[in-house]
Structure 1
Amino acid sequence: MGMHDVRVAGAEELRQFMKRLLRDVKALERMLADGLVETGVRRIGAEQELFLVDESFGAAPVALEVLNRLKDHPEFTTELGLFNIEFNLDPQEFGGKCLSNMERDLNRFLELARQAAAEVNAHVVLTGILPTLKLTDLHLGNMTPNPRYYALNDALCKLRGGSYNFHIKGADEFIVQHDNVMLESCNTSFQVHFQAGPEEFARLYNVAQLVAAPVLAAACNSPLLFGKRLWRETRIALFQQSVDTRGSGTAIREKHPRVSFGHRWLDDSVLEIFHDDIARFRVLIDTEVDEDPFEAIEAGRPPSLKALRLHNGTIYRWNRACYGVHEGQAHLRIENRVLPSGPTPIDELANAAFWFGLMISVAEEHSDVREVMDFDDANSNFLAVARQGLSAPLKWTDGITASADELILHRLLPMAREGLLNRGVDPDDVSRYLDVMEERVKTKQTGAMWALNSFQGMKHKRSMSERLSALTAATVTRQRLGTPVHTWGLVDTHEGASWKDNFYRVEQFMKTDIITVNQDEVIDLVVSVMDWQQERHIPVEDDQENLVGIVTYLTILRYLNQEGERGDAVSTIMHTEVVTVTPETLTTDAVRIMRENKVSCLPVVRDGKLVGLVTERDFLRITEELMEEKLSRA
C-alpha cells in the first residue's frame, strides 16, 4: 500500500535518511547471512488497482468518498489520483485452490467497491488506461491529498528541473508537455506477488524477467490514451515517461530511468537490486524511522526496514524485489507490475495463473536462464510485445524466433499447465484459467484488440467523445457479467453516455487535426491550403507555436479582389484580435460567444497554444444529430 507518513526533506534530513537506509541494507545482509529470512514457503498475493467513473463514464474524483464508505475494510486504500483506488488481497499458500480462492476474494472486494461507488453515483472500471480520461483531469486538484503523493510530486519535479515531455508513437502519435506527475495516475494494474526464498531469489527473479514478455503479450489491455491509438500496452511507455527525472544531458553518458525493465541478469542475491538502486537513484523523500534494525534482530523479531522499503517504493522496476514481514516472519517476494488491470477478474486470474505456471516450469527446465538467453533479448522481447502484443516476434531460449501467439500456444501454455499441476494446484482451477488464456490467444482478442476493434468500428458513426464513452460503458457492462474478454462482442453504437454528456464541453467534439500557417508565410500558401483542404478558417502561429491570428475565407476573398502584388506575408491580412475558448468551455457558452462576437470559428487554446478548433459546421452537425435522435423517438 505504500507509506503515507512521508515528507520532502532538506539536505541534512536526506543525509540522515541515507544513513538509516544504508543501515537497513546492512541489516538485511546480516539476516540473509544468518538465515533469518523465510525459505521453503511459497505464497502468492495480489493488489488490484481500478478507476472510478461518473454516470457519464468520465473520470470521477470521488475516491475519498468511496473509501469513507469502505472504512471498515482496511484492504482498500488510496492511489495517486482521486479517480483511482486500490485493494489488497490476502496472501495464499501456493497450491490447491489458491487461484479460485484469489478470484473469490477479488470478486468480493470488487463488489464492495461497486456498492460504495454506487452510493456516490459512480462506477468502477478495471482497465489499464481509462479511455475517457482527459488531459484536463490530470491537474494537482485531482491528486489525492496525501503527504506521500505531494512529496513525490515535489521531489520528482525538482529533480527533473522542468516539465515532463511525453512522446509515444503507435498508429497515432502522442506528444505533450505536462508539469506534474499526474500522468502516472492514468495507469492501473493487477500486481501479483510470488514469494521466493533467499537462496533461490536471483534465479527466480531472472525467470520473471524472461517470461515477462509472453505474459504481457497475452494480457495487453491499454491501447488508447486520450483517443490516440498507441502501443498495445501503452502503460509501459507512459509510466516510464511519467516519472522520468533524466534531463537531456549528453548522449554519451548512460542514465537509467526510475521505471525500467532492468539492465542485467542477477547473479547471486536480491541485494544486487537494492545496492544498484541505492547507488543509481537519489533519495526523494524522508520519513520518521523509530526502529534500529539491529536492535530488532537482537530482540528476536524481524525489523521493518522502513527506510529501505520507502526508497524501494520510489523505484519502479517492472519486476520489483520486495521485503516484507508476514505473521512475524521476514520474507522476500517478486512483485509483477507488468499486468494491466482488467478486463475481468477471470481474465486477471488467467494472466496470473499463466505467470505462476511459467515461473515454476521455466525454473525447472533451466537451472540458470543466463545460460540460455542474453538479457538484451529478454528486454527487447518485452518492448516488442508492449508495442505489438500477440503479433510481436519473440526470440526464445533455444534460439528460435516465433510470434508471441505461436510461442504461447505451442510451447508456453503446456509448460504453465505442467508447472501448476506439479505444484499441486487444483486441476479444475488449472483448466479454468489456462483454458481462458488459450482461447484468448487463439482468437487473438486480448483486451487491447477488443478495444481497438470496437473503437475503429465506430469511426464513421460517432464523435471521438462518443466512441470513448461507449467503449468505457461497454467495459463496465461486460465486466459486471464477468465473462472473459475473448467472448465479448464489439461495442454497439448505442452504448455509452447520453447525447448531452458527450457534447457538454468543447473538448469533447473540437477538431484537433488542424492545419495552420506561420505568420511570415506568403498569403498564396493560405489560399492554396484553403482550396486543398476545403477549409474556411486557417489559424496563424508564430515561431514558438503561439496563436497570433486567424485568416478566414472572407478575408481571402477581399484580398483577392484587391489589385497589386499578392506576395505579402500572412501577418498583413490576418485578424489579430481572435476570439478564443478553452477546452473546458461549455458548449452553450461557446455558441453564445460565437453569436455575440459574430464569428464562425473559435480556436481552442491552452496557455496560448492552439489545441483545437470549433466552427459553425460543428454546431450544424451536432444540431443535425440531435434532430435525428429526437425525431427517431417521436
Structure 2
Amino acid sequence: MIEALLRDLEALARMLESDLIEQGICRLGAEQELFLVDACGNPVPVAEQVLAQNRDPHLVPELTRFNLELNLDPVQLEGNGLRLLERQLVQRLAHARALARELGHDIALCGILPTIHLSDLALENMTPRPRYMQLNEVITQLRGGPIQLQITGIDELFVQLDSIMVEGCNASFQVHLQVDPDAFAPFYNAAQVAAAPVLAAGANAPVLFGKRLWHETRIAVFRQAIDTRRGHLYLREMSPRVHFGTDWVRASVLEIYREDLARFRVLLMPETPLEDALAVLEQGSIPQLQALQLFNGTVYRWNRACYGVTGGRPHLRIENRVLPAGPTPADEVANAAFWAGLVLELAHREPDLHRQLDFDEARGNFIAAARLGLGAHLTWLDGARWPAARLILEELLPMARAGLRRARIDPADITHYLDIIQERVRRYQTGAEWQLRSLAALKGQGSRAERLEALVLTMQAYQQENRPVHTWELARLAAVRRREAQGNRRVEHVMTTDLFTVHEDEPLVFVAALMDWKQLSFVPVEDAQHRPVGLLSREAVLQALAEEADAPLRVRHVMQTDPPLLTPETSVEEARRLLSAGAHQALLVVHKGQLVGVVTRKDLAGA
C-alpha cells in the first residue's frame, strides 16, 4: 500500500507539471448527511430498509443504521448555480423523506441529533459494511483502549465509549469547491482562514446526550472519536487524524498529501488490486489514484484536499467539512454561498495570506468559533481581535458578496443567500443559539426526553417549510407527540443522572442531614468504584435514629442490600411494572456495573 501511495503521488506530480489537471472552471458540489428518526424524533436504525427501497444512486449508507448521505451533482459556480444546488437538495431530501415515511419514520437535519442516547451507539447499529468494521477495529487497536470523550461547555460530558460509533452522532453538509491547480495554495489558505467565521455563523450542534456543550460540538466529538493517539507518550507531539492542519500551503496540493503520509499510518487496505498510476499515465490515460483516495479518506482535515476524475478529466477540490447539517436547505446553501464567496475574494485579494496571519491564530480562531459560535472573538488579518458577529457583518459579508459577483452569480441570488446569513447574525440566531434558547425556555417543563424531542420535532416542521433559522420561534413542549405505545422509550430517556449518594461506612446522622438539606426521600449507596451496594429510604433512616443504639449507626446497618437494578436500555414499561409490583421508591440504573442513574415514579409520570 505504501508503494502504491508513493507511485500515486509521483503520478500526481507529473500531471501537475504537465498541466493535465482541469482548470478554468469553478464548480460547487455537496454531500448531505442526515438522521433517520421515528415519529417522536428519536434515532431509528432503518437505513438498510430505506436503501432497500431506494433506486437513486445519490442516496448512500453512512457509518450507522440511523444515518444516510445524499450526494449532490456539482453545479458551475456562476449564474443560477446556487439556486440549482438548493433545488436539487430539496428534491433529493424529499425523496429520502418519502422513503423513510413509507416505513413510518422521517428524516431530520442537524449537526448532532439532540435525542441520541448512548445505547443508540451500540455496535449492532453500525452499518454492516466491511470498511466501517475494519476502521473501527484498526482505530480501537491503535488507540489501545476505549474512547474517553470529554467536552466542557455549559455542562460537562465525560463518558467512555468502546467504538467509533459516537462519530455517528455527527451530520454535516460538506461543500466541495473545484479550484485551478496552480491557484490551489491561495485558495486552500483562504479556506482555512474562512473556516472560523463561517462556522461561527453556521453552528448547529450544541447538545449531546442532553448536555449543552460547544456551539458546534461536532468538532470535538469527531476529533476524539477518530483519535488514534495514546495518552502515555509523555510530551510527545502527535497530530490527531481529525485536524485543522499544521501550516499554510506554500505552493502545491502535494504538500498536504506528503504531510499526511508522513504523519499518519495507513488504516485501510484495498479490497481489490490497485491500479499502477504511473503505468496508466504512461499509457496516455488518466489514473484514479486509488491508493491516495483510499488513504485520504481516513485523514480528516476540516478542509480536505480532494482529487477526482469526471468525464475523463482530473480535477482538484477543496472539501469543506466544517459546516453542520441543517437547520434547513436554504440555510445550508446560504452557508455554502458565504464560504465560497469569502474564499474566492480572499484568494483574489490576499494571495499571501500566510504572511499576514500566523497559522496558529487561524487554528485558534477555528476552535473558538466551534466553542462559542457568534460569541467568539477572532483574530483577523489586521491583527485586531474582532467579535465574530461584528467581523461577519462589517467585513466578511461584503467580501463574500464581492467574491460571488466575481464568479458572476446572479445578483438576486447573491442578495437572497447572503441576506440569510446577515439576518441570522444580526438577530444572533444560529441553529445552535435557537436550540440553547429553546432549552432555556423549556426549563422545568416535561421530562428531559420530552424537551429534547420538542427540539427535533420543531426542527423538522420548519425544515419541511424550508424556513431559515433566523425566522424560527422557539420550540414548545406542545410539539411533542404522545406515544400510542411506550415500548420504544427507554429508561435512559427519563432517568435522573444528577445523584446524591453515600457510602456504606458513613454515619447515619450524615445521611439524615443530607436528606434534610436536599429534600430526598431516598439515597443510593455505592462503593468507591461507583458500584451500587444498597438503597436507603428516609423512613428507614428516621426510624433507626429514633431507636436506642449502643454505637453510632452506619449506612450498612440500615440500607436495603438488594435494590432493584436496571440498565439504561430497559424499557420504560418494564420500569413502570417493577415500581408498581413492589414497594420500591426508586430503581437504580447500572451500566457496566456502575451506578449511572435512578428512576422514580415521578420520572415515569410523563413518559
Is 1:615 aligned to 2:593, yes or no?
Answer: no
What does 1:434-473 correspond to in 2, within 5 Å? 434-473=418-457
1:57 to partner: Cα distance: 1.4
1:546 aligns with 2:531: yes
Following superposition, the deviation at residue 508 of structure 1 comes to: 2.1
Q: Please give the secondary structure, in 2, of the residue aligned with 1:517.
A: coil
Shift of the alpha carbon at 1:39?
2.3
In the alignment, is residue 165 of structure 1 matched against residue 148 of structure 2? Answer: yes
Query: Which residue, 351, 357, 367 being the options, matches 2:351?
Result: 367
1:289 corresponds to which residue?
273
Residue deviations 1:126-182 (CA, integer Å, cap 9, x gap): 111111111110111111111111111111111111111101111111111010110
- TM (norm. structure 2) is 0.97
Gaps of 5+ in 2: none
Q: 1:28 aligns with which of 2, 7, 12?
A: 12
The code of the aligned residue for 1:231 comes to W
Select 1:274's aligned residue among 257, 268, 276. Answer: 257
Cα separation, 2, equivalents of 1:21 and 1:300: 20
Which amino acid counterpart does residue 316 of structure 2 have in structure 1?
Answer: L
Q: For residues 554-598 of structure 1, what are the alpha-carbon distances to aligned partners after superposition, in whole Å with 9 as ceiling and x for unaligned?
A: 331232134346645433433221211122222332232234342
Task: Return the letter of the residue paired with 1:550.
Answer: L
- The question of whether the paired residues in 2 share the 8 Å contact of 1:81 and 1:143 is answered with yes
- The equivalent residue for 1:263 is 246
3-state SS in 2 of match to 1:494: helix
Deviation string 1:352-391 (CA, Å, 9 cap, x unpaired) is 0000110111112212101111111111111111111111
Equivalents in 2 of 1:530, 1:354: separation in Å? 55
Please identify, of 555-564 and 370-379, the stretch whose mean Cα deviation from structure 2 is larger: 555-564
> 1:384 and 1:549 mapped to 2: Cα distance?
44
* Structure-2 separation of matches of 1:496 and 1:260: 38
| Matching of residue 605 in structure 1 with residue 590 in structure 2 | yes
Q: Does 1:303 align with 2:303?
A: no
Task: Give distance in 1, aligned partners of 2:553 and 2:21.
Answer: 78
Contact residue 57 and residue 497 of structure 1 kept, 8 A: no
Moved more, 268-277 or 545-554: 545-554
Counterpart CA distance in 1 for 2:407 and 2:578 is 69
Moved more, 468-477 or 511-520: 511-520
Deviations 1:306-344 (A, max 9, x none): 111111101111001111111101111100000000111
**Residue type at the aligned position of 1:403:** P
CA distance in 2 between counterparts of 1:201 and 1:447 reads 32
Offset of 1:68 from its aligned partner? 2.0
Secondary structure of the residue that 2:520 maps to in structure 1?
A: coil
Pairing 1:180-579 to 2, within 5 Å after superposition = 180-287=163-270, 288-498=272-482, 504-564=489-549, 567=552, 569-579=554-564
> 1:344·1:485 contact (CA, 8 Å) conserved in 2?
yes
Decide which moves more: 518-527 or 467-476: 518-527
2:274–2:290 Cα contact (<8 Å) kept:
no
| Structure 1: gaps spanning 5 or more residues | 1-16, 627-634
Alpha-carbon deviation of 1:499? 5.0
TM-score if structure 1 supplies the norm length? Answer: 0.93
* Residues 569 and 246 (structure 1), Cα distance of their counterparts in 2 relative to 1, 3 Å cut: farther
For the residues of structure 1 that align with 2:106 and 2:556, how far apart are their CA atoms? 50
Equivalent position of 1:3 in the other structure: none
**Contact persistence 2:508–2:545 (CA under 8 A):** no
Counterpart CA distance in 2 for 1:203 and 1:471 is 40
SS, match of residue 222 in structure 1: coil
Amino acid at match of 2:6: L
What letter matches 1:193 in structure 2? H
Give the counterpart letter for 2:267 in structure 1.
L
User: What pairs up with 1:95-110 in 2 under 5 angstroms?
Assistant: 95-110=78-93
- Could you give the per-residue CA deviations for residues 411-458 of structure 1, whole angstroms, max 9, x where no partner exists? 100110011112211111101100111111110111111111112111
SS of the aligned residue for 1:408 comes to: helix
**Contact conserved, 1:466 with 1:502, CA < 8 A, in 2?**
no
Partners in 2 of 1:342 and 1:215 — Cα distance? Answer: 14
Q: Verify the 8 A CA contact 1:469 1:502 in the aligned structure 2.
A: no
1:282 CA drift (Å): 1.1
Distance 1:289 1:305, change over 3 A: farther
Range moving further from structure 2, 190-199 or 519-528: 519-528
Shift in CA distance, 204/502, structure 1 to aligned 2, threshold 3 Å: farther
Taking a change above 3 Å as real, the CA distance of residues 502 and 437 of structure 1, as seen in their structure-2 partners, is: farther
Task: Say if 1:524 and 1:566, in contact at 8 Å, map to a contact too.
Answer: no
SS in 1 for 2:454: helix
Question: CA offset at residue 522 of structure 1?
Answer: 3.3
Whole-Å Cα distance in 2 between the matches of residues 514 and 150 of structure 1?
36
Q: For 1:414 and 1:260, locate their aligned partners in 2 and report how far apart those are by CA, in whole Å.
A: 29
1:43 is matched with which residue: 7, 15, 27? 27
Give aligned-pair identity as a percent: 48
Distance 1:570 1:551 in 2: 8
Give the superposition deviation at 1:102.
0.5
> Per the alignment, in what secondary structure is the counterpart of residue 72 of structure 2?
strand
1:466-507 deviation digits (Å, cap 9, x = unpaired): 111111111111111111110111112210221566894322
Q: Tell me how far apart the structure 1 counterparts of residues 40 and 104 of structure 2 sit (CA, whole Å).
A: 10
Q: What is the rounded CA distance, in whole Å, between the counterparts of 1:385 and 1:94 in structure 2? A: 27
Give SS of 1:410's match.
Answer: helix
User: What amino acid is the match of 1:259?
Assistant: V
**1:617/1:419 CA distance change after superposition, 3 Å:** closer
> Using a 3 Å threshold, how does the CA distance of structure 1 residues 456 and 499 change in structure 2: closer, same or farther?
farther
Residue 565 (structure 2) pairs with residue 580 (structure 1): yes
- The CA distance in 2 between the partners of 1:618 and 1:213, in whole Å, is 41
Equivalent pairs counted in the alignment come to 605
Secondary structure, aligned partner of 2:327 = coil
Cα distance change, pair 100–563 in 1 and its aligned pair in 2 (3 A): same
Instruction: Compare 515-524 and 241-250 and name the one that shifted more.
Output: 515-524
**Equivalent-residue separation in structure 1 for 2:406 and 2:541 (angstroms):** 77
Letter in 2 for 1:168: I
Alignment pair present for 1:114 and 2:94: no
Change in Cα spacing, 1:511 to 1:465, as seen in structure 2 (3 Å) is same
> Residue deviations 1:13-55, cap 9 Å, x none?
xxxx222222212222222222222222221111111111011
Q: What amino acid is aligned across from residue 265 of structure 2 in structure 1?
A: R
Q: Report the residue type matching 1:508 in the other structure.
A: H
Alignment partner for residue 80 of structure 1, among 52, 56, 63? 63
8 A contact 1:172–1:229 mirrored in 2: yes
Q: Does the Cα contact within 8 Å between 1:604 and 1:611 map onto a contact in 2?
A: yes
Q: CA deviation at 1:198?
A: 2.0
Residues 565 and 354 of structure 1: is their aligned pair in 2 closer, same or farther, counting only changes over 3 Å?
A: farther
Give, as a single letter, the amino acid of the residue that structure 2 aligns with 1:103: E
Q: Is the CA contact (8 Å cut-off) linking 2:535 and 2:560 kept in structure 1?
A: yes
Q: Which residue of 2 aligns with 1:14?
A: none
Deviation at residue 56 of structure 1 after TM alignment: 2.0
SS of 1:539's equivalent in the other structure is strand
Distance 2:600 2:348 in 1: 64
Distance in structure 1 (CA, Å) of the matches to 2:550 and 2:321: 64
More deviation, 214-223/36-45: 36-45
Contact (CA 8 Å) 2:486, 2:572: kept in 1 or not? no
